[in-house]
Amino acid sequence: MKREEFLEQEPFSVSQTDKEVLYREQLKELTKNHRTACKAYDDICNGLNEDGPYLPVSLFKDIDLKSVPDEKIVRRITSSGTTGQQVSRIYLDADTSVLQQRALCTITGDFIGTKRIPMLIIDSPDVLRDRSKFTARGAGILGFSMMASKRIYALDENMRLDMESLKQFEELAKAGPTFAFGFTYMIWEYLYEALREEGKTIDLPGCHLIHGGGWKKLQSRSVSDEAFRVGLKEVCGISSVSDYYGMAEQTGSIFMQCEEGHLHASIYSDISILDPEDFSECGEGQWGLIALDSLIPGSYPGHRLLTEDWGRILGTDNCPCGRKGKYFEISGRIKKAEVRGCSDTFEGTAAKAFPQGRQENLQILAGTYPPEESVKELFAPTVMDFLEELSKLFMKDPAYRRYPEIYALGFWCRRAHIEKISSRYSAGSRRGKGLTLHIAPSNMPTMFAYSWITSLLAGNPNVVRLSGRESEITAATLRGIEQVLGIPSFEQLRLQNVFVTFPRGHAALEKLSLQAKARVVWGGDETVRSICSIPKGTDCIDITFPDKYSVALLNASDLRDIDERELKHLAHLFFNDTYGADQNACSSPRTVFWIREKVADDTEQIKDKWWNAVAEEAKAYDLQPWMATEKYRMLCRYFAQQEGLGPARKWGNRLYVVPCGAYKGDLSVLEARFGLFYEREIDNIDEMIPFMEAKIQTVVSSGDDQEEIYEEIRSADCPGGDRVVAIGEALDFNVVWDRKDLVELLSCTFLNEETNTKTE
């Protein structure tokens, strides 16, 4: 059967078996057409080494994907993003637009009948002002309007209830069947809540309400599907309600909710549930990521989409409502968790995990505010004793040992290690500069402590501003610090140090900047620029750590002959360097340079051996569904935007490796997270030197020649490559960071007691 004939049938009349036969053939044909007409899509297919892969829906926010010339585009639809968000852009030609409208009418007609009836639009007429450019709201209104004999808007141009129009529709409802349409959250907020607030009701007992757009905004307000239905019946008398599932990226081929409460796939589209581990198809009843197929999109490659929604198939061809095909349920958008890394240092307003004290909207998390501003000599005995106690607590107390990051902090604070650091300085001749303000990174949960401790060793009182994002590890670290500061012998340190959080733009930041002798700022380029633009005292210095990234240098000959035990150990250390911070840390490698000197013929085999070992370690990684979709989106985006990448090698969704030997662009453009790596073969280290630009912080090396590599980078006058470390040491903190000696910068030469009146 041809596609056109198939789509002429009743929307829920075809068995799943018959449907799948045609879909296999038609999806291949659509893929072929899109690959021919859309270069970006073809590049994605080549990069993934797949014919007709699912595209992540979020990709349409990143790039324009079109399979027809611009002159054939009759309409552009955008998703309904909130203010400040990117939106998807979908381009329709006349044929696709007509097919979308036909699908929507046919599917809806199965629920409310094919006869045109009056329609109440729970929105403002302003949403349709420009019919060549629609949001998903506008597209929905226009599509469902095809079923209407008369259209009445419930809201005016100011999004307020239009009671005159509502009363007019109430009269129409008395004469026969009607239907209403709107987005779920708008119906609740602008109709239900508005009527309740005004103490009014309308009577629409024969009206069938169709609503969509998702439940995210109402779930945050604890409004369930049942509460929604009860509320609408209370203020409107509506008892017939159908939710639908759909999206701008496949407008028209919606999934309507039947009388049994199930969402149904029609002949226009199909649904699969994918395991986030490897995107393999889940069995009936198993929860996973929703993937959608549609025969409608001809003007853009949206025929196969991977969503960010979580659902499961309930059955096939056997719903009690009598409709054939798959039926399913969704639980909503996949949840995002805290991302580790050094980005977004200056976000957040509240720290729910922290014990909070308040002073003028400034929340004191630990210590004393305002702190006393007296300074000490470098590596003061009191500070050394404090760190020794803190080290013991973090390394021995079971409450802290369960956090590897906190245990590592305790290990770093050992007296022996601190004494080794102190041996590099003339402690007796230097003192702290004065009050130091730290703007700490939000997503590396213990980095704030390293920054603070380094300043403490340099003899300074401190204010540490945390972002306020809830972090179990950060909260536990603070509890430990506060516990040790509470020991009577460290009372003076407690009075000289404070950990706080306050909102972006809070007056405290400017006040502290004018008081401080130094500001230590960690984070993205924008954060650094923002903080440094705030006025400061004339003798205040800024020590900044903006965006950077790192690479690895693996010598194939080093890895050729090692035994399985040593290979596993090195892969585990590499796993800690990268997956340990979700690759967000500036020192976590993204790109791997392979030196193939001496073993060129065996390089491919050695690489396979290495990545297989890393993939084995990655089985321990907590890969959450949203991470899998985000990493996949990143991979597809770069294949579409950058030349010279791929094809990718994949070990499920835990490890992607993308060759970039033919890539001519800037490596800093190629972001990587959650186990995405780029690799490039070189004959010797000289070929890596041109890539050592200013934003490269760390080189992780497989050999024992780190000092030699560092000297070679420096002798070549490379702007980047601030340090070279062995595998497993990428995340190790050093008081010399980005070639900046923090102890040196945060202290000054002490002349005499009379000229330094604040010295203890």
pLDDT in tens, 526-550: 889 999 999 999 999 999 998 899 9
Query: From CA 452, how far away is CA 449, in angstroms rounded?
Result: 5
| Nearest one of 662, 33, 289 to 45, comparing CA atoms | 33
For residue range 208-266, list pLDDT tens digits in order.
Answer: 999 987 777 777 677 888 888 999 999 999 989 999 998 889 888 899 999 999 999 99
Banded pLDDT at 80 (limits 50, 70, 90): low
Share the mean pLDDT of the chain: 89
Mean pLDDT of 318-338: 87
Beta-carbon contacts of 184 under 8 Å, excluding residues fewer than 6 positions away, are 211, 212, 213, 214, 215, 217, 218, 228, 243
Q: Which helix (H) or strand (E) holds 92?
A: strand 89-93
Query: From CA 418, how far away is CA 583, in angstroms rounded?
Result: 28
CATH number at residue 621: 3.40.309.10
Q: Are residues 34 and 177 in the same domain?
A: yes
CATH number at residue 488: 3.40.605.10
Query: From CA 440, how far away is CA 516, in angstroms rounded?
Result: 15
Question: Given a cut of 60, is residue 82 above it in pLDDT?
Answer: no
For residue range 663-673, list pLDDT tens digits in order.
Answer: 998 888 999 99
Q: What are the C-alpha distances in Å from 645 to residues 228, 630, 655?
A: 49, 18, 16
Q: What is the pLDDT of residue 360?
A: 52
Q: Are residues 626 and 503 in the same domain?
A: no
Q: Point out the least confidently predicted range of 276-280, 389-393, 452-456, 468-472.
A: 468-472
For residue range 568-579, list pLDDT tens digits in order.
Answer: 999 999 999 999
CATH number at residue 133: 3.40.50.12780
Q: What are the C-alpha distances in Å from 290 to residues 104, 245, 307, 445?
A: 20, 11, 6, 33
Q: Are residues 424 and 468 in the same domain?
A: yes
Q: What is the pLDDT of residue 140?
A: 80
Beta-carbon contacts of 157 under 8 Å, excluding residues fewer than 6 positions away, are 124, 125, 126
Which is more confident, 57 or 341? 57
Q: What is the pLDDT of residue 223?
A: 82
List the domain range (segments joined by +) for residue 183. 3-333
Question: What sign for the dihedral angle of Cα 681, 683, 687, 689?
Answer: positive
Q: Are residues 285 and 362 in the same domain?
A: no
Q: What is the rounded end-to-end Cα distance, in angstroms, of the chain?
A: 90
Q: Is the peptide bond before 371 cis (omega within 30 degrees of 0)?
A: no
Paired sense of beta strands 73-78 and 133-135, if any: parallel
Q: Are residues 688 and 564 in the same domain?
A: yes
Q: Are residues 473 and 584 in the same domain?
A: no
Residue at 339 is within a domain: no
Query: From CA 339, how far away is CA 441, in angstroms rounded?
Result: 12
Helix (H, G, I), strand (E, B) or coil at 466: coil
Strand order in the sheet with 89-93: 89-93, 73-78, 133-135
For residue range 121-158, list pLDDT tens digits in order.
Answer: 999 988 777 555 567 777 788 888 888 999 999 999 88
Q: Are residues 536 and 419 in the same domain?
A: yes
E strand spans, 660-737? 676-682, 696-701, 723-726, 736-737
Banded pLDDT at 336 (limits 50, 70, 90): confident
Question: Given a cut of 70, is residue 344 above it in pLDDT?
Answer: no
Residue at 352 is within a domain: no
Q: Are residues 377 and 516 in the same domain?
A: yes
Q: Are residues 150 and 183 in the same domain?
A: yes
Taking the model in full, what pTM does it have?
0.86
Query: From CA 209, how far away is CA 201, in angstroms rounded?
Result: 16
Helix (H, G, I), strand (E, B) or coil at 329: strand
Q: Are residues 560 and 541 in the same domain?
A: no
Q: What are the C-alpha distances in Å from 277 to residues 25, 246, 579, 652?
A: 28, 25, 16, 6
**What percent of the chain clears pLDDT 90, i.e. is strictly above it?**
69
| Nearest one of 539, 532, 538, 529 to 509, comparing CA atoms | 532
Q: Are residues 325 and 451 in the same domain?
A: no
Q: What is the pLDDT of residue 130?
A: 58
Q: Are residues 533 and 573 in the same domain?
A: no
Q: What are residue 733's phi and psi, to 5 degrees?
A: -85, 145
Residue at 343 is within a domain: no
Tell me how many domains the chain contains: 3
Q: What are the C-alpha distances in Å from 301 to residues 24, 40, 281, 498?
A: 16, 10, 21, 54
Q: What is the pLDDT of residue 317?
A: 96
Q: Which helix (H) or strand (E) holds 715?
A: helix 706-715
Question: Given a cut of 90, is residue 612 above it in pLDDT?
Answer: yes
